[in-house]
Structure 1
């Protein structure tokens, strides 16, 4: 069972093994992008020399 959305309603739905593996693979890809972005942004914040420079750094949701 996986938590998923259909027509705006979230519920647990039965999925095939292939579907579940595809979901997990997509999640891992997304998570790796988020982690890479976190590393980059952390470096940028730590390298900022002024408060406004640090405040200008923003998270952009990976697609």
Structure 2
């Protein structure tokens, strides 16, 4: 069996930071989605478009 790979600490730190950033993105996206569903609860086309069209301030945070 081959020896374990020697991975530099800075690469491990970058991988952890990437995982944290992805988790934060998923959490924020879920939060905005829930807020938009409360604001536009209908099932009609207009409500769906409004629900999916994020305001500029929320898009800018991404």
Q: TM-score, length-normalised on structure 2?
A: 0.55
Aligned residue pairs total 47
- Which structure carries more strand by proportion? 1
Structure number with larger C-alpha Rg:
2
Gaps of 5+ in 1: 1-12
Task: Deviation per CA, 1:27-54: give whole Å up to 9, x if none.
Answer: 1112112211110111101221411324
| Structure 1 or 2: more helix by fraction | 2
Q: TM-score, normalised by structure 1?
A: 0.54
Over the aligned positions, Cα root-mean-square deviation in angstroms equals 2.7
List runs of 5+ in structure 2 lacking aligned partners: 54-61
